[in-house]
Amino acid sequence: MTASVLVETGRVATQTRPVPTPGPGDVLVEIAAVGVCGSDAHYYRHGRIGDHVVTGPIVLGHEASGRIVAVGAGVSPARIGERVSIEPQRPDPNSAESRRGDYHLCPHMQFYATPPIDGALAQYATIGAAFAHRVPDSVTDVAAALFEPLSVGIASIGKSGLTVGGSVLIAGAGPIGLACAQVARAHGATRIVVSDIDSTRRETATRFGATATVGPGDVVGLEPVDAFVDASGAPSAITTGIGVVRPGGRVVLVGMGASDLTIPVSIVQNRELVLTGVFRYANTWPTATALVTAGLVDLDAMVTGRFALDEVADALDADRVAGSIKAVVFPGRLVGNRASSDERHTS
Work out the number of other CB atoms within 10 angstroms of the CB of residue 99.
12
Report the candidate in 211, 214, 254 with the shortest Cα–Cα distance to residue 232.
Answer: 254
**End-to-end CA gap in the chain:** 25
Query: Collapsing DSSP states into helix, strand and coil, what is residue 159?
Result: helix
Same topology, domains 2-146+299-340 and 151-277? Answer is no
In this structure, CATH architecture of domain 2-146+299-340: Alpha-Beta Complex (3.90)
User: Which residues is 212 bridged to in the sheet?
Assistant: 193
Nearest-angstrom CA–CA distance, 98 and 87: 15
Specify the CATH number of the domain 151-277: 3.40.50.720
Helix (H) or strand (E) holding 239: helix 235-242
Give the model confidence (pLDDT) of 101-127 as tens digits: 999 999 999 999 999 999 999 999 999
Strand-pair partners of 274 = 250
What phi, psi does 313 have (nearest 5°)?
-60, -40
Position 336 scores a pLDDT of 61
Strand partners, 276: 252
Nearest to 306, CA basis, from 56, 34, 105, 115: 34
pLDDT of residue 340: 37
Is the pTM above the cut of 0.75?
Answer: yes
- Ranges of residues in the chain with a pLDDT under 70 are 336-347
Each domain of the chain, given as residue ranges in start order, spans: 2-146+299-340, 151-277
Q: Let me know: does 271 contact 224? Beta carbons within 8 Å.
A: no
Q: Give the pLDDT confidence score for residue 334 in this predicted structure.
A: 87
pLDDT for 338 equals: 42
Query: Which pLDDT does position 259 carry in this prediction?
Result: 81
CB 325 within 8 A of CB 204: yes
**CA-CA distance, 217 to 194, in Å (whole number)?**
13
Between CA 107 and CA 232 the distance in angstroms is: 25
Distance, in Å, from the CA atom of 73 to the CA atom of 21, rounded to the nearest integer, reads 11
User: What is the structure's pLDDT at 337?
Assistant: 54
Q: How far is the C-alpha of 306 from the C-alpha of 300, rounded, in Å?
A: 11
d(CA 255, CA 230): 6
